[in-house]
Structure 1
Amino acid sequence: MENKNKTVIKSMELLHLFLTEPSLSLNELVSRSEMPKTSVHRMASSLEEMGFLTRAADGRYQLGLIFLQFGQLVSERLDIRKIAKPIMEELCGEVDEAVQLIMRDGDEAIYVEKIEGTQTVRLFTAIGRRSPLYAGACARSILSFLPREEIDTYLQKTEFAAIASGTMTNPAELLQSIETSLQSGYTISYSELEDYTAAIGAPIFNHEGKVAAGISIAGFEARFSEDRLPYLTEKVKAAAQHISEKLGY
């Protein structure tokens, strides 16, 4: 406990009071938290400024709408994982390569599920790992299918850095890859996140027709031969379509 930020802990204690009460006055927050009034007022004001609390005309506090955004994100991620996992397991059994599921988190992609193949040597990816949206087939399958204005904004503000020998750091090259993905419905990468690896990714769409996640087959480059690519490509696209349909697309 000594190593934790006490202000953060006390702020969370205030927020927890709203789990059972729709609104609370400043005096009620002080009484229920048993904290000094000046401290409660300061923390409540900070939480209000950040959007975690809102204050009505009568001065009573209630949870801010930002929690709806967080709740929706958590719900979507849990639902997609639950829906996607059996489809990912089936895909993995068919292609015997690692199958990965990612979601967008700001300007990054986060790995939320992974199914391992039977290969002796495996890729270094784990649930919770992050990567920039421009690097790797799975992440770029999300970037490629965002609204064009979002893509343009992303390309303009992003500082591209090489992660492995094949990472795309040229905006023009990246844009060409995005255009190709839009036409073909999938994305392919070689040595972008890790040398001597390859991946084929496809976008997953939700009931609103918006890209919600990306799924990829990933393994070592030698197993992604030119004659095997059509088979792998169709498999990952079919899996992405199946998950999308389950999400109401």
Structure 2
Amino acid sequence: MTEKSVNSLERLQAVLGLFSEDRLEWTPEEMMEVLGYARPTLYRYLKILKAAGLLTSMPNTGFTLGPKIVELDYLLRKSDTLILSGAQHLQNLTQRYNCTALLLRWYGDKILCVDSRSSVKNPISSYPRGRPMPLTKGAIARSIISFLPRRRLLQIVERNFDDMKSIGLGSTIEEVYESLKRVKKAGFAVAYGEVTPGVVGIAAPVFDVGRSPIASVCVTISGSLVDGSTIDEIGRNVRSVGKDISQMLASHRHSNENHNLI
């Protein structure tokens, strides 16, 4: 791939990167203002993305994400080893508790729900499948960052110290770090109403074959249904599920590696 083609790919990605929950529709003029692309360049990219089904538009309106995104999401559900490995575990957790069980993947500075099950009639969730959540709040976030190597963890703490201080993790960077070390020692994280009011989150990390977590498994349950001993019980179960999924992912990876050597 030439340098020119790499640059073009990055520019195409930048167009798709404009879309967010806050901005679901963009006109070409708005895109040009934000991205700084010349009109002929932008329209060439829009034509490519529209032909691929990644963008769509109606006459005299702006552009929105297209049907190819839905098709890719369907294929993701069918092929993601994290989802396939965790599905039965989520079902088991919801059969055992009156809760919502979630699998969440970490990428960049975001955490994304990729699958969930619920045994609650009207489940309350601030972050349904596909909606990114921050890396600084709630049991899910702590179940991931607490297991990072010290240097990488401290970088995240330093960047997000004010947010972490505001939820009571500590009044200094070292105190926050010590709080996260306790999460790592327990093997799971607990948060009380930090993400969704009245809901307790209990989460544990999921690893692939590396030292750092790639995902999290979480149970969210109404605070009125649990006490300290119940939370500890759920925490132990979630921790066990996280380990089981991690082993399944590692086994799948090793199996593929051995297959490629044949």
Q: Which residue of 1 aligns with 2:125?
A: 123
Report how many aligned residue pairs link the two structures: 191
C-alpha distance in structure 1 between counterparts of 2:80 and 2:109, whole Å:
20
State yes or no: 1:10 paired with 2:41. Answer: no
1:13 Cα deviation from its structure 2 partner: 6.6
Kept after mapping to 1: 8 A contact 2:100/2:123: no
1:83 Cα deviation from its structure 2 partner: 1.6
1:166 Cα deviation from its structure 2 partner: 4.7
C-alpha distance in structure 2 between counterparts of 1:2 and 1:120, whole Å:
34
Kept after mapping to 1: 8 A contact 2:169/2:179: no
Q: Which residue of 2 aligns with 1:145?
A: 147
Structure with more helix by fraction: 2
State yes or no: 1:211 paired with 2:235. Answer: no
C-alpha distance in structure 2 between counterparts of 1:169 and 1:160, whole Å:
10
Q: Which consecutive residues of structure 1, in runs of 5 or more, have no partner in the other structure?
A: 16-73
1:120/1:150 Cα in 2 relative to 1: closer, same or farther (>3 Å)? same
1:102/1:156 Cα in 2 relative to 1: closer, same or farther (>3 Å)? same
Equivalent residue for 1:187, pick from 189, 193, 208: 189
Q: CA RMSD in A?
A: 3.2
Q: Which consecutive residues of structure 2, in runs of 5 or more, have no partner in the other structure?
A: 1-24, 32-38, 50-75, 252-262
Matches for 1:79-158 after TM superposition, within 5 Å: 79-120=81-122, 122-158=124-160
1:14 Cα deviation from its structure 2 partner: 6.8
One-letter amino acid matched to 1:181: V
Kept after mapping to 2: 8 A contact 1:142/1:213: yes
Kept after mapping to 2: 8 A contact 1:97/1:119: no
Kept after mapping to 2: 8 A contact 1:205/1:212: yes
Q: Which residue of 2 aligns with 1:46?
A: none
Q: Could you give the per-residue CA deviations for residues 23-56 of structure 1, whole angstroms, max 9, x where no partner exists?
A: xxxxxxxxxxxxxxxxxxxxxxxxxxxxxxxxxx
1:231/1:8 Cα in 2 relative to 1: closer, same or farther (>3 Å)? farther
Q: Which residue of 2 aligns with 1:37?
A: none
C-alpha distance in structure 2 between counterparts of 1:182 and 1:203, whole Å:
9
1:121 Cα deviation from its structure 2 partner: 5.2
Q: Could you give the per-residue CA deviations for residues 116-136 of structure 1, whole angstroms, max 9, x where no partner exists?
A: 123445333301122221211
Kept after mapping to 1: 8 A contact 2:136/2:160: no
C-alpha distance in structure 1 between counterparts of 2:248 and 2:182, whole Å:
26
Q: Which residue of 1 aligns with 2:72?
A: none
Three-state SS of the structure 1 residue aligned to 2:106 is strand
TM-score (norm 2): 0.62
Three-state SS of the structure 2 residue aligned to 1:176 is helix
1:138/1:175 Cα in 2 relative to 1: closer, same or farther (>3 Å)? same
C-alpha distance in structure 2 between counterparts of 1:193 and 1:172, whole Å:
24
1:8 Cα deviation from its structure 2 partner: 5.1
Q: Could you give the per-residue CA deviations for residues 104-123 of structure 1, whole angstroms, max 9, x where no partner exists?
A: 12222122212112344533
Specify the structure having the higher radius of gyration (Cα): 1
Q: Which residue of 1 aligns with 2:204?
A: 202
1:187 Cα deviation from its structure 2 partner: 0.7
